[in-house]
Amino acid sequence: MSTSPLVRPRDVDAIRGELREIRVRLGVPLVFGGEVTAGTLLISELLGARTPGLRNLHVPAGSGLGGRVVAERRPDLVADYASARTITHQFDQPVLAEGIRSIVATPVIVGGVARAVLYAAVRDQHPLGNHAVDVVIQAGRRLTNELTVRDEVDRRVRLLDNAQVRQPSGAAADREELRAVYAELRDAAGAVNDPDLRARLRSLSNRLGAISGGSSGVAVSLSVRETDVLAQIALGCTNAETARRLALRPETVKSYLRNAMRKLGAHTRHEAVVLARRHGLLP
């Protein structure tokens, strides 16, 4: 899935994290899942497995329960796997070797395409119910949001790479795109859940700021949020637009802007942007 390996964490780590959450919330003995590539699911993450049969199993769309939810892009529950008539049974050997009786699966849909599948299963005669379905669906939605953010980060990093290549031309349009990508990177950093990825995005935005930002020789330090606000102001955003983009209250935006102006010795928002660029704090 990853197109920017230096920035993006492994998506299977996020899958494993949601599987752990499902197992804790439901108390089920077995959870598993994996990524979907070109319509085929690869089961790579298992917690509570007794046998190796399910690991690295390839499940094409439409095959078994996992392939069914990939093809139909909706969750499904099987109360008794062995007797289920709604799914194909070419994976009976590894599934039944695990002693699985009841199983729920949900696809992780990003941009209309299945990108992963999460399963929860029990081995006793008490089938999983609606509560289990809800928990697994919620985990799938969280993972959808996380992968959506990561995809958007990848897109913006690619824009950054392209802008850096074009920067020597000195064209005004290139500078404006650099500034827009910078603001988007900081916005993405505030939205992503993974702390390591968030730190890397901050680092990338700081590097981008240094590409075209100058230096006055006088040290000025702005907080993360003060810089975020100024980055949006630099794009011509109003306080209300900045608040919406950064998921802040307008009064909070005003407070950050006032603090930044004070630190920079600026009397207007426009002057604050100019001075921040002079100090190399903005591109």
CATH code for the domain of 102: 3.30.450.40
Tokens of 213: 């930002």
Measured distance CA(166)–CA(195) in Å, rounded? 30
Is 174 among the domain residues? yes
CA atoms of 205 and 132, how far apart (whole Å): 41
pLDDT reported for residue 23? 96
pLDDT for 264 beyond 50: yes
Q: Does residue 91 contact residue 63 with C-beta atoms inside 8 Å?
A: yes
The answer on 120 and 79 residing in a single domain is: yes
CATH code, 209: 1.10.10.10
Which of 149, 184, 205 terminates a domain? The answer is 149
Distance of alpha carbon 238 from alpha carbon 177, whole angstroms: 19
In this predicted structure, the answer to whether residue 186 has a pLDDT above a threshold of 90 is no
Q: pTM of the full predicted structure?
A: 0.63
**What's the residue count for the chain?**
283
Residue 48: CA count within 13 A, CB half-sphere:
21
Buried b (16+ CB within 10 A) or exposed e, 247-278: ebeeeebeebbeebbebbebeebeebbebbbb
155 is a domain residue: no
Task: Let me know whether 125 and 225 are in one domain.
Answer: no
> So what's the pLDDT on residue 175?
65
Flag whether 238 is in a domain.
yes
- Does 18 map to a domain? yes
161-185 pLDDT per residue, tens: 665 555 454 455 566 667 777 777 7
CA angle 100–103–107, rounded 5-degree value? 135
What's the whole-number mean pLDDT along residues 93-101?
Answer: 96
Give residue for tokens 């930044």. 260
C-alpha span between 201 and 96 (Å, rounded): 45
- Domain range for 270 is 170-278
Q: Is 104 in the same domain as 217?
A: no
Dig out the tokens for 162 from the structure. Answer: 């392209």
With respect to residue 162, please indicate whether it lies within any of the assigned structural domains.
no
Average of per-residue pLDDT values in the chain: 85
Is 32 among the domain residues? yes
> Is 241 domain-assigned?
yes
Q: How far is it, in rounded angstroms, from Cα 44 to Cα 54? A: 8
Q: Is the pLDDT of residue 122 over 80?
A: yes
Tell whether 176 is covered by a domain: yes
Structurally, the chain folds into a number of domains equal to 2
